[in-house]
Amino acid sequence: MELSTRRLARKEKEEKKIMKILKTLASAGLILTFITGIWFIDDRYVDAKDLNNLKDQINLRIDTYEYRELTKQYYELKKLVRENPDSQELKEQLKEVEKERADLKKRIDAKLE
């Protein structure tokens, strides 16, 4: 009888130790989950500096594309002016495209500085 009570007492002590370890592991897991959750929520939001950088990059891409298109248009008009040297309208369009292209180039250069 005494042997079985000793075994029960030892078994209860072991169970208490196991429960203590499980509680500690569960608490550590809960804390890690909480910290990770805060970290993910914080990374979801963009601050104003990142947003402005992103806007500038997008605008630079748009301006670069626009510059390429104006360059194509410039060379097409230049070809047409060579073919029709008497056309005043083509010459005026060429000057307008040159001006737009120069303004856009300045704007792109300013963004790249």
Max CA distance (Å), the chain = 123
Say which residues have a Cβ less than 8 Å from residue 105's Cβ, sequence separation at least 6: 67
Other beta carbons within 10 angstroms of residue 32's beta carbon come to 10
- Check residue 4 and give its pLDDT: 76
Mean pLDDT value across the chain: 87
Nearest to 105 by CA among 71, 67, 62: 67
Nearest to 93 by CA among 78, 71, 72: 78
SS3 86: coil
Residue ranges, the chain, pLDDT below 50: none
- Check residue 65 and give its pLDDT: 95
Q: CA–CA separation, 97 vs 93, rounded Å?
A: 6
Q: CA–CA separation, 84 vs 71, rounded Å?
A: 20
- Check residue 12 and give its pLDDT: 83
